[in-house]
Amino acid sequence: MTPFCFIVATVPLGLYWLALAWLHSRPQPFAVDGRRDFIALALALFGVFFIGPGSVTAPLSAMTVWGPSVWLLCGLLYICVVLLLSSLQRPRIVVYNATCEELRAALSRVALTLDDEARWAGASLNLPNLGVQLYIDGAALGRVATLVGLDAPRSQQGWIRLEKELRVELARLEAPRRRGWPAFAALGWGALIAASVVFFQRQEAIANALSFYLSV
């Protein structure tokens, strides 16, 4: 792997790992829309895609016509594909630093304030007046739980209201910091420090690689 490719791959991943460390070190759970969570992961993997499948399937014929602008077009294509895939997903709300039991208790309180007819059926919750049906899915490892829609929502505004009220309720909870957050922090800082060392030691090689991609 060239120094340029190493930096392109590790910097986005390092920033993503630091973001995970921050989420898991918070004293309160944190809820985020599932589509945004997917887009953040896709952006973190952009560098890996660039040096992997992206370099193997580089549009050589387009390079001769568009020149360096082809990389901008490839980046826009990647973003469009990510947005398309995120739009095809079921509605989700990802809650970091919370177990399924903690999320269920908080969700029960929120559901009663939003819909008097809210009913649980096992791990599934139906809010008919809000137009939302969901179930709780917990990660195999760690304090991460997800609210997953059972079908396409009858009311997108219902999901937005649910997410907003759930964030308010979760902000009142005191959750123990996940013990694994230092590992994410070590991975993030390790990746960024390694990228910095490579950058300062191989500046000429990186400049040559960057010049090559901009002059294709």
Q: In the chain, where are the structural domains located?
A: 1-89+177-216, 90-174
Q: Is-contact 192 11, C-beta < 8 A?
A: yes
- Beta strands across the sheet bearing 30-33: 30-33, 92-96, 144-149, 132-138, 124-127, 119-121
Q: Could you tell me which CATH number the domain at 90-174 has?
A: 3.30.310.80
Average pLDDT over residues 90-119: 86
Least confident of 120-129, 131-140, 171-180: 171-180
State pLDDT tens for residues 35-67: 899 999 999 988 888 776 655 555 555 566 666
pLDDT of residue 3 exceeding 90, the answer is no
Supply the pLDDT for residue 192.
93
pLDDT of residue 159 exceeding 90, the answer is no
Query: Cβ neighbours of residue 54 under 8 Å, at least 6 residues apart?
Result: 74, 78
Q: What global pTM score does this model have?
A: 0.80
pLDDT of residue 143 exceeding 80, the answer is no
Q: Is-contact 83 96, C-beta < 8 A?
A: no
Helices 203-214 & 3-25, crossing angle to 10 degrees? 100
Interatomic CA distance for residues 139 and 148, integer angstroms: 13
Helices of type H across 46-180: 46-51, 53-56, 60-66, 69-88, 100-114, 156-170
pLDDT of residue 123 exceeding 60, the answer is yes
Q: Which is more confident, 67 or 132?
A: 132
Supply the pLDDT for residue 170.
87
Average pLDDT over residues 19-26: 86
pLDDT of residue 15 exceeding 90, the answer is yes
Per-residue pLDDT band at 12 (split at 50, 70, 90): very high
pLDDT of residue 139 exceeding 70, the answer is no
Q: For the chain, give the mean pLDDT.
A: 82
Q: Which helix (H) or strand (E) holds 200?
A: helix 181-201
